[in-house]
A and B are shown apart, each in its own frame.
Chain A
């Protein structure tokens, strides 16, 4: 058998394909460090303050992108992320506004996202509708509902601990290394979500079923995988994560807002794709997605500090998405 001989380069390639986005992230960090000068003033790129800002900015996209990873791996797509985040934000805001407990607000925000996701999943699974179309519809429905509930304005609520999720935990010691570790609770929440989702996708029957459905739906069905139930569960779980993401955004803004996260579906999908997932399903990892999300925030932050106009940032990120997919394509062609 000649399998061992052909396996070796395959393995090396597979490893490289996993490390690719990671190398890109490190390279970006180094490039910006050099370009922005070395030192430890708060304006420096590697300063604790700046890294904390980057992490906070990443966490909102990252949590949503964890959910999106599972959807994309299963061969689907969800365009309604931004709208569902806005809906959750309004639901959380209204709960607090009417004197609800912060815990109730958290539950309500996540539940709102989950309901939207379950609705997406049910329509896709039960009627065989294209995910693109169903979630495009949900994009309008969720955004409109958010505006309707909030009466098209922001929803204010009394200050409580929920509003501090995105602020760093105060830390008495001044050691700079420790300052970088003392990140906002929201960042820890994102990290926990990522670890949980990574375990779910790699170790659980549910997670592997998502890969199987994305890789070959007919085969999964023939093997007895409950494709419909799984799809509904996948979209509902992702919806719940979108809700959580919306909660963090509400906390950051200190108000419920039906117009936040406009166009955020693009950032979320871009994070997943840069992280190595294929839009045709079957491949993708949570770790890759997190790195993808980090790459985008590092780029934004770095180019911001270099004084580049946002227009150029947008062009750059757009080009990087295409580049990431292009490299992936090339690698796959060589591997086969």
Chain B
């Protein structure tokens, strides 16, 4: 087995911040390396160094035995190193083919050769089993999963020797993930090396032969996937033993506080009935496109409800607006933290108190001191790691941003919390914090609905789980009656695989 890429002693600093303090790793030809580490461990910086977006300050890289020091993204691509970024990087107004070849269009004298552009795009999409996609459809109008595949197609057009996938499955359904793995395995047999970055350790195990762990900008462990347990990997990542990722905090369940009776939205959900009790953590599972987020949105008054009733504390609700819901003590944390959750360039204090400024304003003027004091106490309670309440939320890590988003609902005094994918894109350590926080809230008598596409966390923290399938919500059942297999079966809603695939492609 020959070494495709070897990286030795890479360092990189931004001003006073040392992002990488010594990274070593190597990938063999035709193999997959899982790169794991918490957010902030330096994975993104390392990827940017590998793809030429950043230049390393020190250390060396070898690609197929030749010194490798790309001058920019295009140079890296030309040498056969391609990346699929975690954040979707499509120009949503441009067509699929144009996106696939963006920055790399086949052209003569500056005029794009559309025929060739289409042919290359078609070939790349066929490799991904998306041969029948309309190449002129604006990328922004595709479902997220297909957008992700278009990004991968873009990377494939570079005919990469080394393909880097940064959290490629964060927006994919189980069926799409399987499909992606098939593609990765096929690429490996063609001799392509893959660096696979993911928070999902079981995914890493499914595709990777080796792993490397980054912590605080340094490589702390590496080895064969087969020889290490999940607990080992987590210990390497967080630098300590995680005895309990899913803390079981005892909490008492009371009377019903929220009820949905046969709720239907414009497209989805088509029929959602559930009851949430005081102090209960209710999990809502569904594949992408099943209507689980839409149910929360309809419940919160963001999307219209065409049929059915919402009852809060037994009172049927006639008004449907987010404002009315907040007044009724319901709060929502959107799955899209960056666009719908937080004002990223505003201070933590403002983000925490945005919905309820009354307590520290008089005559319409905000008393900054009291606002910050209130924010500070909330930050202590939620264990938000930040320089202070005046720091911009956008500068925090994903986990801390999520704590701020949840903290806002607490400041508002919400008793019913709707959390849509509360742990998306945050690392194991921060996830554990969020789980503990949810448990604490339930112990204080708050009721929580958690929407997630990650089954282990639902099984780990929920009292009951309901599954959404094509807009229909199954009755909630106690968590003890579920396991991964039964949840997935219910979510697919059918026993045959063909239906499963249809359900997964919205």
> CB within 8 Å of B: which residues of A?
1-3, 7, 10, 203-206, 208-209, 211-212, 214-216, 218-220, 222-225, 282-283, 335-336
Asked whether B102 lies within 8 Å of A219 as measured between CB atoms, the reply is yes
Closest to B73 in A: A224
Selected A-B contacts with CB under 8 Å, 27 pairs: A1-B132, A3-B137, A203-B111, A203-B114, A204-B110, A208-B94, A208-B98, A211-B91, A211-B93, A211-B94, A212-B98, A212-B102, A215-B93, A216-B92, A219-B91, A220-B102, A220-B103, A222-B73, A222-B85, A222-B89, A223-B102, A223-B103, A223-B154, A224-B74, A225-B103, A282-B92, A283-B93
Whole-angstrom distance from the CB of A70 to the nearest CB of chain B? 14
Instruction: Name the contact of A216 in the complex, choosing from B89, B112, B134, B137 (C-beta under 8 A).
Output: B89
Task: Kindly state whether residue B44 has any CB partner on chain A within 8 Å.
Answer: no
Measured in the bound complex, the distance between the Cα atoms of B107 and A203 in whole Å is 9
Q: Is the interface of B mostly helix, strand, loop or mixed?
A: loop
| A3: chain B residues within 8 A (beta carbon) | 132-134, 137
| A222: chain B residues within 8 A (beta carbon) | 53, 73, 85, 89
Q: Is the interface of A mostly helix, strand, loop or mixed?
A: helix
Q: Which of B92, B94, B114, B154 has the largest count of A CB atoms less than 10 A from its CB?
A: B94
| A204: chain B residues within 8 A (beta carbon) | 107, 110-112
| A209: chain B residues within 8 A (beta carbon) | 103
Measured in the bound complex, the distance between the Cα atoms of B90 and A212 in whole Å is 9
Task: Kindly state whether residue B105 has any CB partner on chain A within 8 Å.
Answer: yes
| B110: chain A residues within 8 A (beta carbon) | 204-206
Task: Kindly state whether residue B77 has any CB partner on chain A within 8 Å.
Answer: yes
Task: Kindly state whether residue B182 has any CB partner on chain A within 8 Å.
Answer: no
Measured in the bound complex, the distance between the Cα atoms of B102 and A219 in whole Å is 9
Task: Kindly state whether residue B72 has any CB partner on chain A within 8 Å.
Answer: yes
Measured in the bound complex, the distance between the Cα atoms of B92 and A220 in whole Å is 11
| B132: chain A residues within 8 A (beta carbon) | 1, 3
Measured in the bound complex, the distance between the Cα atoms of B93 and A225 in whole Å is 16
| A282: chain B residues within 8 A (beta carbon) | 91-94
**Per-residue contact bits, chain B 23-44, to A (CB 8 Å; 1 contact, 0 not):** 0000000000000000000000
Supposing A208-B105, A215-B94 touch, asked if A224 and B505 sit within 8 A by C-beta, the answer is no
Whole-angstrom distance from the CB of A51 to the nearest CB of chain B? 34
Which residues of B128-163 have CB atoms within 8 Å of chain A's CB atoms? 132-134, 137, 141, 154
Task: Kindly state whether residue B104 has any CB partner on chain A within 8 Å.
Answer: yes
| A225: chain B residues within 8 A (beta carbon) | 102-103
Closest to B151 in A: A219
Measured in the bound complex, the distance between the Cα atoms of B130 and A3 in whole Å is 11
**Per-residue contact bits, chain B 79-98, to A (CB 8 Å; 1 contact, 0 not):** 00000010001111110001
Closest to A283 in B: B93
Measured in the bound complex, the distance between the Cα atoms of B132 and A214 in whole Å is 28
Measured in the bound complex, the distance between the Cα atoms of B72 and A206 in whole Å is 20
| A216: chain B residues within 8 A (beta carbon) | 89-92
Whole-angstrom distance from the CB of A137 to the nearest CB of chain B? 24
Measured in the bound complex, the distance between the Cα atoms of B92 and A227 in whole Å is 17
Closest to B51 in A: A222
Measured in the bound complex, the distance between the Cα atoms of B99 and A209 in whole Å is 11
Measured in the bound complex, the distance between the Cα atoms of B104 and A3 in whole Å is 27
Closest to A219 in B: B89
Asked whether A220 lies within 8 Å of B91 as measured between CB atoms, the reply is yes
Closest to A335 in B: B141
Measured in the bound complex, the distance between the Cα atoms of B120 and A313 in whole Å is 51
| B114: chain A residues within 8 A (beta carbon) | 203
Measured in the bound complex, the distance between the Cα atoms of B102 and A1 in whole Å is 26
Closest to A223 in B: B103
Instruction: Name the contact of B134 in the complex, choosing from A7, A212, A223 (C-beta under 8 A).
Output: A7
